[in-house]
Structure 1
Amino acid sequence: MTVLILVPAGCLFAWVWNDNQDRRDSTQRERQGVEYLSALAPLVSGLAEAESSALQGVAAPPASLTTAVTNVSAVDARLGADLGTRERWTTLREKIGKFKTIKGDAEAIFQAHVEVGDLALALYTSVQAESGLLRDPDNDVSHLQQVVAVDLPTTVTQVSRMGDLALLVTGATPARRAVLTPQFGASVEFVTASVDNLTDNLQAAAENTSSTTLSGQLVSTLDQFRRGVEALTRGANPGGIPNPATMATAQAQLQTSLAALSGVVARETTNLLDDRLDSLDLRHAGILTAGIAVLALTLVAAAMHLAGRRRAPSARPAPAPAGSDATRGMGRPGPEPGYGHLNQAPAYGDAPTQRERSGVLR
């Protein structure tokens, strides 16, 4: 019975324990992904600023980009091996380091920065996939990670390119303008679609979350971000002449709102994952306690059963002690039935004579 109880109970315990451990490991990996993505957000902003500065004739990268590169390098040193980002980040960092050496006209400089920006977006995609954020089972975390890993970096990159393309279209020759104008129009449409996707995902996260702070913080930061994008789009003036002053102001506003929105999304995502880890830790402790209790109760029951068998009385009668009435006369033949009076032994000292025996027989 002990084996019949312990074997299925042990199998059930192992299955529940391993399932809970797998969920804890995947959640911790997602937290690593959010940490890495949080470090990449300032990098994307720095790349956008560097692109605009380069088109204005400033070859040196801005200080914001240098600081962002340093921070991402530190995060990659800790998490890059686990998330498989080491090679991608090394390539991207080398490309950023060559910004000072870029030569050519405005379009060549623009294309060089576009290449680096695409590498940064590819790094976002890699972190999203390797950390498991792309497969999160909770609706709120799933939508938030889509915002922080796809919508925000894509929107910022495309908004920056839209503004820079507007300036390139304005200063280009008629022949080059015919080539750049469709790119500018596609960039405007891309920005609009990215902002819509970002808004939809944030609204879906707010509607399906257990967080008490997510909805309130998202409303103000999202509105600020959308206003920055709209201001930059107005400054780019699709179909007309762009206003560089309006675009510069909108760019600064957009960077501020991006930092605020990225911080809110990353912080709320981390909080939700931390809450899940706390719940899984409690479940882990409960599983362990239940397993120990089942094992202890089973062993106690088995010990009580064995002790009871040792104390049970035997059905066979106990042997009589030596010298008792029951053992006295053992080995002697008893009297034959019906003739007991003939075989009675005489008392000590009264041995019968031959004549007396003959008279008795007669």
Structure 2
Amino acid sequence: MLTVLVLLPAAGLFLRVLQENSKQRDNVQLEQDGVEYLNALSPLISALAESQSSALQGVAAEPASVTAAVARVQGVDDRFGQELGARTRWTDLKAKIAALPKIKGTDDKVFTAHVEVADLTIALFTTVQENSTLSRDPDADISFLQSVVADKMPRAVTAVSRMSDLANMAAAATGSAKTTLNTKFGYQALLVQDSVGDLTDRLQEAVDDTSSNTLSGNLVSNLDSFRRGIEAANRGANLGSTKGPNVSTLVTAQSTLQTALSALSGVILKEISGLLDDRSGSLTYKRIEAFVLFGIAIVLIVVATLWTRGRAREVQTGFTEQPGETSRDVSVQVSGGGNAPVGNPYGGGPYDSVPNYGEAPNYGGGRERSGALR
């Protein structure tokens, strides 16, 4: 009973530790699946920017980069789309991407269709970010890094591509249409500045709070390339100048930015994956440690139980009545070689007799003492 009373709480504590460990391991795996999905989505956002520019230039065919990016996302969605809650969004997005080459009409109509698709792609980024729990990661470095790669970077690249295309459209427009396009251009330029400012701050915070030894070094060169692309886009925007945007500078900036995005997002996602692998390894070690400690506890309890039972048997044996202890021989040997009568413990000889109470001893062969003595 004592063994059971000790073992049950130990088993209950072990199960709770094991359940919490399993929950954390499953959550890490879900985040790793999300990282893989984001890794496939990053090239798609750049490919859609290229598709938008080529469509506005009159190219009806879908760019090869879009075809490759769609195939890559489809492959990762087949594996993780259901558990990440992304399958419905991706199915709808894929259908709209396939319909883009078929859209005919004015530049505004073509541009609006591509804007819708890009917005749906950014929404898919957000869905994967939230459902994979990356957005709620407890570690500061992973939290900042995933925010950059799943939110700030896609928005910045999309805004730069829209800046470039709006500048082209505004250059060919006149009157109120030109004014409207310039207003939209200015709005996208402000979005780029805000996104890049937030992006840089979050990357710096990630570097300050990370346990990775490679994050800082890997980010430096790629972040510099990304910044140069953004700075070129800002120069091409010519905000506050009466000359208007420089279209050629914006096109060059867009190309530079797409290349920098691919490199930077790859580095960030690789760092996130490495940090998650370290956490998974730590959880596996703790799981093994819990099993070992529980096994040792069971062995100690069993050994203590057997020892206690052995001691109990020894004590019980010590109190057990030995043979002859209840029928002791209390007879007394007399000097003459026989046993003394029970009523006379002083021996069986004539000189050993004891007078009765109240009687005088008979020393003179039976004669009484003299009267003087009386």
CA distance in 2, matches of 1:245, 1:164: 11
Q: Describe the SS at the equivalent of 1:81.
A: coil
1:245 Cα deviation from its structure 2 partner? 2.7
In the aligned structure 2, how far is the partner of 1:38 from the partner of 1:2? Answer: 53
- CA 1:251 to 1:338, structure 2 compared with 1: closer, same or farther past 3 Å? closer
1:62 positional shift: 1.1
SS at match of 2:211: coil
Distance in 2 between the 1:338 and 1:185 partners?
A: 134
Aligned-pair identity in percent equals: 49
Q: CA deviation at 1:163?
A: 1.2
2:291 to 277, 282, 288: 288
Alignment match, 1:317: 321
Runs (5+) with no aligned partner, structure 1: 327-334, 341-362
CA distance in 2, matches of 1:114, 1:207: 36
* Aligned-partner residue type, residue 140 of structure 1: D
Instruction: Give the distance between the partners of 1:279 and 1:338, measured in 2 at CA.
Output: 90
Q: What is the match of residue 213 of structure 2?
A: 212
Whole-angstrom CA distance in 2 between matches of 1:241 and 1:135? 42
From 248, 252, 273, the equivalent of 2:276 is 273
Larger radius of gyration: 2
CA offsets, 1:157-212, max 9 Å, x none?
11111111111222122121222222111111000000001101100000101111
Q: How many residues align?
A: 330
Quote how far apart the aligned CAs of 1:156 are: 0.7
Alpha-carbon RMSD: 2.1
Query: Aligned partners of 1:177 and 1:113: how far apart in 2?
Result: 20
Give distance in 1, aligned partners of 2:321 and 2:301. Answer: 35
1:175 aligns with 2:150: no
Of structures 1 and 2, the one with the larger relative CO (CA 8 A, separation 6+) is: 1
Select between 9-18 and 179-188 the one with higher mean Cα deviation.
9-18
Q: Is the 8 A contact 2:189 2:237 kept in 1?
A: no
Is residue 193 from structure 1 mapped to residue 197 from structure 2 by the alignment? no
2:289 maps to amino acid: G
Measured after TM superposition, the shift of residue 115 of structure 1 is 0.3
Check conservation: 2:84, 2:131, Cα contact below 8 A.
Answer: yes
Asked whether the 8 Å contact 2:164–2:251 carries over to 1, the reply is: no
Provide, for residues 188-244 of structure 1, a one-character-per-residue CA deviation record: whole Å limited to 9, x for no partner: 100000000110110000010111110111111111101111212322433533333
Residue 248 (structure 2) pairs with residue 245 (structure 1): yes
Match of residue 3 from structure 1: 4
In 1, Cα distance between equivalents of 2:120 and 2:186: 23
CA contact (8 A) 1:206 1:215 kept: yes
Structure 2, unaligned runs of 5 or more: 330-339, 346-374
Check the 8 A contact 2:163/2:250 in 1, yes or no. Answer: no
Amino acid at match of 2:100: F
What residue number does 2:267 align with? Answer: 264
Whole-angstrom CA distance in 2 between matches of 1:175 and 1:272: 52
Deviations 1:237-291 (A, max 9, x none): 3353333332222222111111110111011111111111111111111111111
Q: Corresponding residue for 1:104?
A: 105
- State the alpha-carbon separation in 2 of the partners of residues 217 and 325 from structure 1: 97
Q: Secondary structure at the match of 2:81?
A: helix
